[in-house]
């Protein structure tokens, strides 16, 4: 009888510990992202971007007082026509390139975020390309900042008008 009671108590304690751990994990995600499973944009100060404000605590040491855009136009339909084929660190910062193969003539606005290998945004660039239907139109976007080792490019948003 005593052994069965101890076993039940251990199981109950293990379930309670698991519940507390889950609450801490979910609570941390909810606090960081605003809950509901939908991440809330977080502003970060970076070099080479327009705007002003104090550097973000996760920004690189050389970060100037600037802001990454919190809202970037993005259309799923327009995004299907755009590819990101190259990502290069340059002496001035970063450069991304690709093509637009549009089903109709349109001006495509492309936003690229430059990140560290751990996904901290360190810069961004925006370019507009006038695409010809059925032809691959090259695009390129660059920004001035100190490119970190292992820099990556993220196709953040595409809009067509």
What CA dihedral angle connects 100, 101, 104 and 107, to 10 degrees?
10
The pLDDT tens digits of the residues spanning 104-143 come to 999 999 999 999 999 999 999 999 999 999 999 999 999 9
pLDDT at 11: 64
What CA dihedral angle connects 153, 158, 56 and 35, to 10 degrees?
-110
Task: Identify the residue with better confidence: 112 or 14.
Answer: 112
Q: Kindly report the CATH class assigned to 76-160.
A: mainly beta
Is pLDDT of 58 > 60?
no
The Cα angle at residue 94 between residues 54 and 87, in degrees rounded to 5: 135
The pLDDT tens digits of the residues spanning 91-111 come to 999 999 999 999 999 999 999
Is pLDDT of 30 > 90?
no
Sequence spans of domains, the chain:
1-40, 76-160
Terminus-to-terminus CA distance in the chain, angstroms? 75
Residue given tokens 């695409």 in the structure block: 131
CA 106 to chain centre: 26
The pLDDT tens digits of the residues spanning 61-91 come to 444 336 899 999 999 999 999 999 999 999 9
**Residues of the chain by 3-state class (helix, strand, coil), percent to 5:** 20, 35, 45
Give the list of residues 6+ apart from residue 47 with CB closer than 8 angstroms, or none. 60, 62, 63, 64, 66, 93, 122, 123, 144, 145, 146
pLDDT at 36: 36
The pLDDT tens digits of the residues spanning 47-57 come to 333 333 333 33
Q: What is the mean pLDDT of residues 29-37?
A: 34
β-sheet with 93-101: strand ranges across: 82-89, 93-101, 136-144
């Amino acid at each position: 009888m005593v052994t069965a009671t101890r076993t039940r108590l251990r199981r109950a304690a293990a379930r309670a510990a698991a519940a507390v751990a889950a609450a801490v994990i979910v609570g941390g995600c909810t606090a960081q992202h605003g809950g509901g499973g939908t991440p809330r944009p977080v502003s970060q100060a970076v070099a080479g971007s327009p705007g002003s404000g104090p550097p973000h605590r996760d920004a690189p040491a050389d970060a100037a007082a600037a802001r990454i855009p919190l809202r970037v136009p993005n259309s799923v339909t327009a995004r299907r026509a755009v590819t990101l084929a190259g990502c290069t660190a340059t002496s001035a910062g970063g450069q991304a390139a690709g093509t637009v193969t549009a089903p109709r003539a349109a001006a495509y606005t492309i936003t690229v975020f430059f990140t560290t290998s751990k996904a901290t945004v360190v810069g961004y660039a925006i370019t507009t390309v006038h695409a010809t239907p059925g032809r691959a139109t090259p695009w390129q976007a660059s920004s001035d900042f100190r490119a970190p080792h292992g820099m990556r490019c993220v196709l953040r948003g595409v809009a067509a008008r």
